[in-house]
Each structure stands twice: as C-alpha cells, then as structure tokens.
C-alpha cells in the first residue's frame, strides 16, 4: 500500500525535468523523495467501523527520459512500519497478512508517464503514471493518477488508489462475525525534489 506513495515521485521527476530548460539537450533528469515529508495512510472498511493506519517511506529516487516519457527508479516502503494503533491487530497484520518478516519492503518501479505535465499555472494538474507495484513478494502492474502542484523548488504530489490485496493473493482477515473489505484504500502525499544538477524551479511542461 505504501509502495504507492513512491509512484508519485516519478511524476514529479517528469515535471521538474521538463522545467529544466537550462539543460534542453539533457534527456535524463533525477529526483528524490524525502521520507520526512512523505505521508502514507491506509483505510480498510470493516463491519462496524473503518480501520486506519500508516506506513513509512524508506527511500525514493527516479529518473525520467523527457524525449520518450520512459521512467525508471525505485520507491521503497518499510512494510515492517505498518501500524493501526492497536498492537494486537498489528501483530496479526504483520504475522498473517503482509508477512513483513518474509517481505520487509513494498516497492514501486515507475515505467512511463503519459500525457502532458504543465505546472506553470496556479492550479494543480493530474497525470497518469504507469509502473510495477511489488507487494508480498509479487509484482503487479499499477497505474496511478497523480495530482501535482508547483511548490517552489519541489513538486507537491498527492494520489489516492485501491489495492486489491485479497485478489493479489494475500489472506482475507475476515472472520464469521467481523468482515472487512477485500481492498485497502491508500492516500499518499509527498514532495519530489530535484537532485542538485536539476535544482531549478519545477514549473515547466512535458508532453508525450
């Protein structure tokens, strides 16, 4: 679930990359995510109430080819950091559901950014980003819809999506009396910061 947060950073890379007009012949730009400015929240609806929790970002760094829209990199979420505020429930989640002792990381590998990214205006824009989400040791194609907003020397990123964890082979934690949804809702916010060589304002455009 946390892996998704990572995908946001890819979109940011694209945006900042286009903005770096000082390097028009350089087709490759790099960005990174700061774990301290990243928030990953998950919500699981259940019979009586919804369960809310968080994960922590370990690292995130991406590259984007502005000529093709192709992307690469890796966003890593610490699966062992997942918590919901209930120690008994969290122990079961780690032991029986996500099995974080066997699969300690959740990752997202961006592969392509579609459409046009233009952050020169005051309003946020939405861009689709394709990639591979790895959860519980299995790869799954995933397309994220990222909301991007120019924020000085970085790009503020938000995304919301569903992870069908049961369909992806993980255990359904429902019991006879307590039923939970088969998908978990993820809300992620972060800031994508250009690496030193591309440290210009990211308000520019990229089209594919």
Mean pLDDT of 114-120: 67
* Residue 160: predicted pLDDT: 94
123 pLDDT above the threshold of 90: no
67 pLDDT above the threshold of 90: no
Domain membership flag for residue 11: yes
Write out pLDDT tens, residues 24-64.
Answer: 344 676 788 989 999 999 999 987 789 999 999 999 998 87
The tally of domains found in the chain comes to 1
CA distance 18 to 42: 32
CA angle (95, 98, 100) in 5-degree steps: 70
Domain membership flag for residue 122: yes
Place of tokens 């979109």: 11
CATH of the domain at 36: 2.40.128.110
Mean pLDDT score across all residues of the chain: 80
* Host domain of residue 161: 3-201
Helix (H) or strand (E) holding 106: strand 105-113
Domain membership flag for residue 206: no
Domain membership flag for residue 208: no
Domain membership flag for residue 129: yes
């Amino acid at each position: 679930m946390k892996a998704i947060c990572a995908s946001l950073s890819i979109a940011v890379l694209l945006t900042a990359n286009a903005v770096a007009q000082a390097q028009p012949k350089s087709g490759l730009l790099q960005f990174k995510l700061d774990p301290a400015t990243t928030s990953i929240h998950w919500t699981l609806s259940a019979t009586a109430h919804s369960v809310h929790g968080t994960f922590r970002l370990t690292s995130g760094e991406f590259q984007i080819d502005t000529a093709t829209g192709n992307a690469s990199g890796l966003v890593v979420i610490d699966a062992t950091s997942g918590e919901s505020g209930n120690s008994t429930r969290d122990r079961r989640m780690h032991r029986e559901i996500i099995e974080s002792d066997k699969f300690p990381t959740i990752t997202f590998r961006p592969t392509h950014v579609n459409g046009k990214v233009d952050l020169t205006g005051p309003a946020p824009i939405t861009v689709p980003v394709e990639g591979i989400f790895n959860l519980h040791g299995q790869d799954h194609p995933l397309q994220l819809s990222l909301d991007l907003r120019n924020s000085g020397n970085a790009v503020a990123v938000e995304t919301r999506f569903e992870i069908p964890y049961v369909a992806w082979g993980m255990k359904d934690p429902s019991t006879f009396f307590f039923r939970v949804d088969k998908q978990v809702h993820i809300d992620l916010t972060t800031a994508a910061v250009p690496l030193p060589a591309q440290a210009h304002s990211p308000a520019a455009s990229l089209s594919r």
